[in-house]
Structure 1
Amino acid sequence: MKLQSNKSSLEIRQELRRQIIDLDQADFESLALRVFQYQAENNPVYKEYISHLHIKTDEVSRLTEIPFLPIQFFKHHLIKTGNPPEPTVIFESSGTTGAATSRHALYDAPLYKSVSTRIFQQNYGHLDDFHMLVLLPSYLERNNSSLVYMMQHFIDQADSPLSNFYLHNTGEMIEQLKNLAENPDGRGILLMGVTFALLDLAESAIDFSFLKNIPNLRVMDTGGMKGRRQELLREEVHDILTGNFGVSKIHSEYGMTELLSQSYSQGDGLFHPGTTMRILLRDVNDPFSIYDHNLAGSKTGGINIIDLANLDSCSFIETQDLGRFGVEPGAFYVMGRFDNSDIRGCNLLVL
């Protein structure tokens, strides 16, 4: 499969961009294959990686045949397709002192905002129907977090005087919640936070019994202890949060620095990928043995992600997470991470 050769790479990129924004799920595979051909030709790092695998790109005709770039490459290279303009921002992952961090340049902010907004609204409804109270202390301490960037956009779109980041002013946030419990205005309330911040809040001395008067409250966990607390299983975290906040389910967001699309879970850890995202699994012992939902059943494997919003970087990412598919088509669970994942990278990282 080849893209039309009579078009310039810029024309192909603009056409792909329009198709990504207007994507219908029925067209996902054909569009993903076109994006693959475009990136295999115009992304120097990805192109060289593919050449070392001795893959003939014009013979790739199925999603499971696409080579996925190990996510560690984002720690050692600035991954770029084509000749985009200067980046709006370069997102950077958090990391322990001295450890290499992933870097992901955002070249097309309108595309990112359009995709992330569409994914959220497909799961929860319009942004302006929400008050967004956001607890991301470790992320706010940096100025290049993709999650903070996305949530700032959501807060702006929500256009609510109560929507804000709460760093050292959680007391103000609690007062806002109490006021909404006494004077509901019909909007939903999203209390979103990194795991350790939600746990710290839930286990504080605050009496959260008033939250039962907010039926449209959603508590959303973005994951991550960031070395602040002992690691807990997701089930343990959610048991604490549901018990202390008095909600029946904990919602979750699955995203990362290297991705521009997100997946959301509305409870029990079952994620539904956004329109521009598809999850495949790979054999834990053979990273080139990739299977889709129809073949996998409940088998656990390494998570490979197709993210079409990564048009200007790389849309085909081999993550270090373990997962398995749910019963619903496309849905998946995140089971954890590979042991010693930082030292399991392929030797082509020297490219």
Structure 2
Amino acid sequence: MQNLLQCLPPEWARIRASLRQRILTVDAHSFESLALDVFRYQAALNPTYRAFLNALHVEVDGVRQLTQVPFMPIGFFKHHAIVSAEGLTQANLESAVCFASSGTTGANTSHHYLFDEPLYDQVSRQIFEATYGPLTNVHILALLPSYLERNNSSLVYMVRQFIEQTGSVDSGFYLHDTDGLTRRIEHLLDTSSRTILLMGVTFALLDWVESATNLAFIGESKRVWVMETGGMKGRRREMLREEVHEILTDRLQTPHIHSEYGMTELLSQGYSTGEGVFRPGATMQIRLRDINDPFTIFPASYTRTGGINVIDLANLDSCSFIETQDLGQNGPEPGTFRVMGRFDNSDVRGCNLMV
């Protein structure tokens, strides 16, 4: 963090400190004014985003509404260091936590530099607890093979923080020991009153339910939440989320499968408690764009499928306005959304998405 601040002129450092504090207390009423201030900050200090705005002939001072803010294509994270500070050296970048997307062998991967770990930790915890209550009330069991085997996964970083914050010695990661995972769930149901949250990458959850003989006790208990974080990692054919959830609910005899929406390029998350409807955290909002014209943004009343644009205020030190390669729809309640898949020519990767 200090390396980043050293590259900011004193006045910009003061502005950043003010923005950071506002991000931690943002709500629906203050979101737009804060997002516009973050836009002006990043337009001034982020060389890549500024070049993008210049190429579009955007007059920053003329942007008065969020509908006027351009969203940077997510692919820029593959080819540029997206940082809102000029004059950073390679040593500055190497001092930061660097998240990398999973990608496929030989493919370019996205890199997201994290300078302010406490901000990310606090935002992600606030988002989780706004949906699920205090972390100290749950045990977290994480089934994340392939992600756990990498040392630069943003998902593993976040889950590791959550596990520590549960304060439970029974929380932890499981690599391939699915039998041990089943025994641990049974043990905790017998010995603890806490809710058990099983967070798993999709292919590992499917492997688990197909190899275990009887998991109906999970649905019967009412105290186990099963959350898929997406991702087949080339281990299985790509499947619709509904198809995955149908298999899981059948084998586990539970009415709902939870989901997490997030990716390397975002520091905020959205959660679904069932039915595939995601509610973003307070620091995140979704806008749908026209599939054929990325500069046409639809109103919240739009009922068809569009490309998902994300405003992520937690991306204070990178870029908060991201044009993803995901397809989605507005959800039944204001601010909610569904993920319908990905653009045909986009990478089949990511922590949290299935086609």
Deviations 1:291-346 (A, max 9, x none): 2314x2x121100000000000000000000001012000000010011126xxxx
For residue 263 of structure 1, the aligned residue among 245, 261, 270 is 270
**Structure 2 portions without partners, runs of 5+:** 1-8, 348-355
Q: Is the 8 A contact 2:219 2:255 kept in 1?
A: no
For residue 17 of structure 1, the aligned residue among 5, 20, 36 is 20
Partner residue, 1:114: 122
Partner residue, 2:304: 299
Distance (Å, rounded) in 2 between the aligned partners of 1:292 and 1:97: 39
Partner residue, 1:346: none
Amino acid at match of 1:110: P
Distance (Å, rounded) in 1 between the aligned partners of 2:219 and 2:324: 38
Q: Is the 8 A contact 1:64 1:292 kept in 2?
A: no
Partner residue, 1:53: 56
For residue 149 of structure 2, the aligned residue among 141, 146, 150 is 141
* 1:326 equivalenced with 2:331 (yes/no): yes
Deviations 1:59-94 (A, max 9, x none): 111111101000000000110002586544100001
**Structure 1 portions without partners, runs of 5+:** 1-5, 343-351
Deviation at 1:213, TM superposition (A): 4.3
Distance (Å, rounded) in 1 between the aligned partners of 2:172 and 2:252: 20
Amino acid at match of 2:103: G
283-292 vs 66-75, which moves further: 283-292
Matches within 5 A, 1:122-133: 122-133=130-141
* 1:153 equivalenced with 2:164 (yes/no): no
Partner residue, 2:203: 196
Q: Is the 8 A contact 1:180 1:214 kept in 2?
A: no
How many residue pairs get aligned? The number is 334
Identity %: 58
Amino acid at match of 2:298: Y
> What SS does the corresponding residue of 1:206 show, helix, strand or coil?
coil
Distance (Å, rounded) in 1 between the aligned partners of 2:77 and 2:262: 15
* 1:207 equivalenced with 2:210 (yes/no): no
Q: Is the 8 A contact 2:199 2:229 kept in 1?
A: yes
Deviation at 1:48, TM superposition (A): 0.5
User: What is the CA RMSD across the aligned residues, in angstroms?
Assistant: 1.4
Distance (Å, rounded) in 2 between the aligned partners of 1:253 and 1:205: 24
TM-score for the superposition, normalised by structure 2: 0.91
Amino acid at match of 1:217: V
* 1:170 equivalenced with 2:183 (yes/no): no
245-254 vs 55-64, which moves further: 55-64
For residue 77 of structure 1, the aligned residue among 77, 80, 95 is 80
Q: Is the 8 A contact 1:181 1:213 kept in 2?
A: no
Distance (Å, rounded) in 1 between the aligned partners of 2:36 and 2:162: 31
Q: Is the 8 A contact 2:220 2:254 kept in 1?
A: no
Partner residue, 1:349: none
